[in-house]
Amino acid sequence: MWNKIYKIESRYQGKLADNKCGWFRKAKNIYGSLKDEIPGYNAIKAIDFVIKNDKEENLSFLKVAYLDKIKM
């Protein structure tokens, strides 16, 4: 019923579609800037860094879920 009234599923998909490239690009940029400076630094650590900062800034729970999923 909630989905029909508030269109939660379509809003969720729209939010992801609007932002996922930017979230991924942020992790990619962090990886690119730190991979040569920190031995053993990898893409997973860059994603974890973005997730950690997101949780501290209390931004979108969708962002954290999306980035956690792409690490798999």
Q: DSSP per residue over 39-57, as a string?
A: TT--HHHHHHHHHHHHHHH
Q: What is the pLDDT of residues 10-27, one digit of tens each?
A: 777 777 677 777 778 888
**CA nearest to 33, candidates 20, 19, 49, 21:** 49
Identify the pLDDT of residue 8: 76
pLDDT (0 to 100) of residue 45: 94
Where along the chain do its domains lie? 20-70
Report which DSSP code applies to 38: S
38 confidence band (pLDDT: 50, 70, 90): very high
Whole-angstrom distance, CA of residue 4 vs CA of residue 14? 16
What was the pLDDT predicted at 30? 93
